[in-house]
Structure 1
Amino acid sequence: MSAPSAPPSFRVWAVPGLPEVQPGDDLAKLIVGAGPGLVDGDVVLITSKIVSKAEGRVVRASDREAAIDAETVRVVARRGTLRIVENRQGLVMAAAGVDASNTPAGTVLLLPVDPDASARQIRDGLRDALGVSVGVLVTDTFGRPWRNGLTDVAIGAAGVRVLDDLRGGTDAHGNPLSATVVATADELAAAGDLVKGKAEGLPVAVVRGMSHVVAGSGPAGAGASDPAAGSGWEGARAMVRGAADDMFRLGTSEAVREAVTLRRTVRDFTDEPVDAAAVRRAVAAAVTAPAPHHTTPWRFVLLESQTSRVRLLDAMRDAWIADLRDDEKSAESIAKRVRRGDFLRRAPYLVVPCMVMDGSHAYGDVRRDTAEREMFVVAAGAGVQNFLVALAGERLGSAWVSSTMFCRDVVRDVLGLPDGWDPMGAVAVGHAAAPPVARAARDAGAFIEVR
């Protein structure tokens, strides 16, 4: 009978004796000089600060905020002076990773330009100097949503299986694993931070006993070199969740501003079906708009079947053609104008927002009655704007056009709407077939008058 195998374990320790890092230093040589006693399968954890210093990412900045601005791609959330942003490396973190600690006064440290490339260079240097196959992680300190406290995570990796995809396997009870992908590199980074500390001046740590996650070492199957991309070995960049899969991409007070920015007029859609529940959530946002006299002047007619969409669009087209003929437009001009609305037929989902004036006041005075209707029209527009922004937050494209306003009787008749419902255009909804075209910047000051 064979002896039971030892339970899994690993050892982690900090590497003392590294000198103060200067621009141009070879980090692999400095680590070798500290005598870490590396062997095949070890994982070397290196604080990003010394990588930045060696790569000359120390810049003069009398204003740290300006340096953060320069490194920021997208502001996710802001509270006072604190900003959570997406930086040039694609990482979502506080202050874009710009650090004013452990650097001379009047300077700041920026993150390495390409942390994965930095990790590869250090790994190659260690292999050349010591003849060992190790993994290298470049680490940095992150806060986490919903959790107090900081921890280290991997922002650069070489020779380490950063993600361990267990999907398709089973647990100890035989239950299928359908969503379990372990962030191995982040777990290693956090383990290293326990011994490196934040103020002890120990920027490098070594983990031993995890050779099964190091390329070119450990049990058979690990491979003689880094396996192909897509298998968890492709670097720490693989750990950054893409925008399409990020359920929490929008921040706090920035959520509305970001959704407004995302909102575009989209006229070209894919064939992907629209989630009816998402549209209903957008309607729920629409009806929070302000309205006069505590009224609710919004109604949204959802055309979810192709039959209803075609029937409405055919009737509207016929009415439009009749109007254009009455205006003595040429056949060519009529055909051209009608073609402009063809995108409505290609949209997988249509919504007809309507205004109702239930609760409005009748004054018997033209001026006041006109103003009363205008208040309701403004409220209807506010509701539609909420609707469009909420659709953008659901990652749905939309186009609001005025077409139904020119044939309201036709629309009411085809859709069986009450006489008091005034169609306020039509909204085409779907998944955009292409990324939105960059919007020209507008200076808000050009639209402001101060008195």
Structure 2
Amino acid sequence: MTGLPAYRVWALPGIPEVRTGDDIAKLIASAATADGLPGLADGDVLMVTSKILSKAEGRVVQADDREAAIDAEAVRVVARRGPLRIVENRLGLVMAAAGVDASNTPAGTVLLLPEDPDASARRIRTGLRDTLGVNVGVVVTDTFGRPWRSGLTDVAIGAAGVRVLDDLRGGTDAHGNPLSATVVATADELAAAGDLVKGKAAGLPVAVVRGLSHVVVPDVGAGADDGVGGADEGARALVRDAADDMFRLGTSEAVREAVTLRRTVREFTDDPVDGGAVRRAVAAAVTAPAPHHTTPWRFVLLESAESRVRLLDAMRDAWIADLRGDGFTEENIARRVRRGDVLRKAPYLVVPCLVMDGSHTYPDARRNASEREMFVVAAGAGVQNFLVALAGERLGSAWVSSTMFCRDVVREVLGLPADWDPMGAVAVGRAAVAPPARVARDAAAFVEVR
């Protein structure tokens, strides 16, 4: 069996109860050099439970109300079921209760995660280098649940001296097939291996892995622990960027989060828009409520540049004629036309239309007007669904009312039936710049209770 890939992992006994101000590196060094233990060597990787770092760093806080502590640590609620909350915390980690832990700490207190787990890992690595003269990797671990999988496992929330990700993209497998999406979360695999010997209640907060020195970053002094050059980037590299996260939304909060993501975009990139994504958004749009079990929505997709230019040119000519008829100067007209150019800047346009199929006709004008209002409200609900669904597809949009002012022109250019009423136009694309911060609105200001 000699020569086969292998590694050893063992829990490190002898770590005492940690108190605020303790030097974790010295505690580990003392335990590792006790009689009968193999000590530490270059290329070893240490898995350190975050709880002992939290205690050493004074992250034990009085909190009779754990929920208030979770509120303070959370930046976004991802999902909620009963008292359980899955939240994103200030470190970008999505986990139960923001990592706030009421176990292994005195009654009336809770443990918060380390302020900066990567920095904590760097301090331990540097301390062990200075104390024992060894080059080791350090992984700070915490316990996570996982979507679609039962059970808990340890993952890396901090790291130093470890290649946390092993990017295999660009290589090939044993059959010569290209690897186009394979990035291995090495630090998480190490964390899980360490947890198998540490356990959850055995009082063994540190584990050592030996035999995987290829994952340890060469130690060239203090600079190696600074994350400079990307070789030692820390566990933050494991946190997926929001723009690339296909599963960012939770359960009951999904719609609310998607609504929050929906912003009016006025500057678009030239990136092409996936027509399939737009069609999925249409599928969401037509689930909106409507009167009399009708389907009063139609969505005209302008996927070719030629169709968009032809429509917008005709609309511009009609708009200029209207403005001249209203007595505006040529300078004012030119300025207004420029302001309305958001539709021209988008790589994709959608014209939502209202149809009155299934509407009721009444003997008096008042009831007929109310009937149309019901259908207009349903059309607005469908467009709102559409905009929110586009945001869920990571597409920006701007709903512009201009087609409503020249419906005959739009119907003629697009060859639409006479009973299709264009309800504005939606510019679709990827935002060229991040939208400004949303103006805060107090919901109570919009509520009247009777």
Which TM bucket (shorter chain)?
over 0.9
Give the superposition deviation at 1:176: 2.5
Instruction: Provide the TM-score with structure 1 as the length reference.
Output: 0.95
Between 161-170 and 250-259, the greater mean CA deviation after superposition: 161-170
2:8 corresponds in structure 1 to 11
Alpha-carbon distance, 1:240 to partner = 1.1
1:232-243 aligned at under 5 Å gives the runs 233-243=232-242
Preserved contact between residue 153 and residue 189 of structure 1 (Cα < 8 Å): yes
Tell whether 2:290 aligns with 1:291.
yes
In the TM superposition, what are the counterparts of 1:116-127 in structure 2 within 5 Å? 116-127=118-129
Aligned to 1:412: 411
Any conservation in 1 of the 2:135–2:218 contact (CA below 8 Å)? Answer: yes
SS across alignment from 2:32: coil
* TM-score, length basis structure 2: 0.95
In the TM superposition, what are the counterparts of 1:40-439 in structure 2 within 5 Å? 40-216=42-218, 233-439=232-438
CA distance in 2 between counterparts of 1:232 and 1:240 reads: 17
**Does the aligned pair in 2 maintain the 1:159–1:215 contact within 8 Å?**
yes
Identity of aligned residues (%): 82
Shift in Å at residue 162 of structure 1? 1.2
Shift of 1:177: 2.2
Read off the aligned partner of 2:125 and give its amino acid letter: R
Structure 1 gap segments, 5+ residues each: 218-223
Q: Give the structure 1 partner of residue 36 of structure 2.
A: none
Task: Return 234-243 or 29-38, whichever deviates more.
Answer: 29-38
Runs of 4+ in 1 over 6 A off after TM superposition: none
How much has 1:167 moved relative to structure 2? 2.0
1:201, CA displacement in angstroms?
0.9
Is the CA contact 1:216–1:226 (under 8 Å) kept in the aligned structure 2? no
Q: Larger deviation: 103-112 or 142-151?
A: 103-112
Task: Please report how far the alpha carbon of residue 274 of structure 1 lies from its aligned counterpart in structure 2 after TM superposition.
Answer: 0.9
2:445 partner amino acid? A
By how many angstroms is 1:215 displaced? 2.1
**CA deviation string 1:223-282 (max 9, x = no partner):** x95797676631111111111221101111111111100111111111111111111111
Which range is displaced more, 29-38 or 48-57? 29-38
Using the alignment, how far apart are the partners of 2:255 and 2:6 within structure 1? 47
Counterpart CA distance in 2 for 1:228 and 1:70 is 29
Q: Does the aligned pair in 2 maintain the 1:39–1:133 contact within 8 Å?
A: yes
Aligned in 2, Cα 1:104/1:196: closer, same or farther, shift over 3 Å?
same
- Select between 164-173 and 321-330 the one with higher mean Cα deviation: 164-173
Structure 2, unaligned runs of 5 or more: 34-38
Is the contact between residue 284 and residue 385 of structure 2 (CA under 8 Å) also seen in structure 1? Answer: yes
Deviations along 1:315-369, one digit per CA (max 9) or x if unpaired, are: 1111111111111122222222111111211111111110000111111211110
1:221 paired residue number:
none
Letter aligned with residue 396 of structure 2: G
The 1-side partners of 2:156 and 2:425 are apart by 48
Distance across 2 between alignment mates of 1:175 and 1:440:
50
Q: Which amino acid aligns with 1:300?
A: F
Contact kept? 2:224, 2:232, Cα under 8 Å:
no
Q: Is the CA contact (8 Å cut-off) linking 2:122 and 2:225 kept in structure 1? A: no
Aligned CA RMSD, in angstroms, stands at: 1.6
Structure 1 residue 54, shift from structure 2 partner: 0.6
For residues 48-71 of structure 1, give each alpha carbon's deviation from its aligned partner in whole angstroms, at most 9, with x where no partner exists.
000111111111112111111111
Mean alpha-carbon deviation: is it higher for 319-328 or for 139-148? 319-328
Classify the secondary structure of the residue corresponding to 2:399.
strand
